[in-house]
């Protein structure tokens, strides 16, 4: 959520930010609603002050007629205050709802664009695998070695569903455990979090109300399945006041994630690239309200992910995401895309995002700074590893001429010493 005071001071900044991101919001209407709310608040405050003054008169010397008239006036004032307070609550709720739809303006150096074709490639790392044979894609390799079963997954759970089994499951577990170990060595606390949350957690982390169509809802219980542990790790401190000396907080969430993939009909229908359920280790940092610190930790999160990918021996590229591809709350975003031979190109595997105080403000997370003032911290996140997308890159990149699949060296200890499937 954006700061209403900043919106009042510089509405053009937010209008331009919304335009850059491609969000259609009426900033003027929000400011008009805010002006109404402030006018009613002023009326309530004024009437309360007058009521207080009139109440004091009741203690003074009054005739019976004067006392009855004053009592009638006090009742009238009390009714007017209650009416204004009811109106104020309605306006506050309406304003709060509208503020949830206003995007956080991107940082000035973010490339302006409308879609992923306007993302800016920053660098490529590693080399694409070279084959002296006709390589298979992950679907054919997976079926050959019994790593997963899509046909039965669809039978049981519908489209974009699958069973991961045998060495496929072992490889996924190895990847997740390796990522957790890397992050723990770098000061991250690992979490297994709830995957079913209340609406407050989705709103607080910025996934609702925009993006609601992407989430699976358990309507009877008014609960939702998470699409990332970013939701639960940010919400972990929802409504709390943190200690400044404890910042930054570095968290790593290992969870199953769920996404409806709304609007993706017909996209990436072959194999496991776009599925409804997946495993992920997510990095989250909560730091002080300082942009330089935020950018430092943004680079740290990006570096952690790149270390893991490099150690897996995968070819990848880093892109700076343009304004039109950013979400509601992000002010800076980088994607990492790993090379997948079966696609003949790169596929997104990581998203590194900074939010300033957007999420903390929505989730009501604060800390007391050195001046004794309660302020909102900044939040950041990035994928560490996600399966099955990284499995695709590994399986396809490490295939051999005889059809077997080599295990990346760093994962061998997590595969009970197995070096080849």
Annotated catalytic residues are 259, 274, 348, 351, 389
Asked whether 124 and 317 are in contact (CB, 8 A), the reply is: yes
Backbone angles phi, psi at 241, to 5 degrees: -110, 115
Q: Determine the Cα–Cα distance for residues 354 and 298; give it in Å rounded to an integer.
A: 7
Q: Determine the Cα–Cα distance for residues 296 and 92; give it in Å rounded to an integer.
A: 36
Length of the chain (residues): 421
> Do β-strands 120-125 and 345-354 pair in parallel, antiparallel, or remain unpaired?
unpaired
Q: What does the block give as tokens for 254? A: 């290992």
């Amino acid at each position: 959520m954006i700061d209403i005071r900043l919106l009042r001071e510089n509405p053009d900044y937010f209008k331009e930010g919304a335009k850059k991101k491609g969000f259609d919001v009426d900033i003027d209407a929000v400011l008009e609603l805010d002006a109404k709310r402030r006018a009613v608040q002023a009326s309530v405050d004024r009437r309360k002050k007058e009521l207080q003054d009139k109440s004091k008169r009741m203690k003074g010397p009054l005739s019976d007629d004067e006392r009855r008239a004053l009592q009638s006036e006090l009742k009238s004032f009390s009714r007017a205050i209650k009416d204004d307070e009811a109106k104020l609550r309605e306006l506050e709720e309406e304003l709060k709802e509208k503020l949830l739809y206003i995007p956080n303006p991107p940082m000035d150096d973010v490339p302006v664009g409308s879609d992923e074709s306007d993302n800016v490639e920053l660098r490529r790392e590693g080399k694409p695998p070279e084959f002296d044979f006709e390589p298979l894609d992950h679907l054919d390799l997976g079926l050959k070695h019994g790593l997963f079963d899509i046909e039965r997954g669809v039978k049981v759970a519908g489209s974009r569903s699958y069973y991961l089994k045998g060495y496929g499951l072992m490889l996924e577990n190895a990847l997740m455990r390796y990522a957790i170990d890397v992050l723990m060595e770098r000061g991250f606390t690992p979490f297994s979090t709830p995957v079913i949350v209340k609406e407050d957690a989705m709103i607080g982390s910025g996934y609702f109300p925009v993006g609601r169509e992407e989430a699976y809802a358990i309507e009877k219980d008014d609960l939702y399945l998470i699409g990332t542990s970013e939701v639960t790790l940010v919400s972990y401190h929802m409504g709390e006041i943190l200690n400044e000396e404890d910042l930054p907080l570095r968290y790593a969430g290992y969870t199953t994630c769920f996404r409806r993939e709304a609007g993706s009909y017909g996209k990436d229908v072959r194999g496991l690239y776009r599925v409804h359920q997946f495993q992920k280790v997510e990095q989250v940092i909560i730091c002080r309200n300082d942009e330089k610190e935020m950018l430092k930790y943004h680079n740290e999160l990006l570096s952690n992910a790149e270390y893991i990918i490099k150690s897996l021996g995968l070819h990848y590229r880093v892109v700076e995401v343009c304004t039109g591809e950013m979400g509601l709350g992000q002010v800076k975003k980088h994607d990492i895309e790993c090379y997948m031979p079966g696609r003949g190109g790169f596929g997104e595997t990581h998203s590194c995002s900074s939010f300033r105080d957007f999420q903390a403000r929505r989730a009501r997370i604060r800390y007391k700074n050195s001046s004794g003032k309660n302020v909102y911290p900044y939040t950041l996140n990035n994928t560490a590893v996600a399966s099955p997308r990284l499995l695709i890159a590994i399986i396809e990149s490490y295939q051999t001429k005889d059809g077997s699949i080599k295990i990346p060296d760093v994962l061998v200890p997590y595969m009970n010493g197995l070096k080849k499937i």
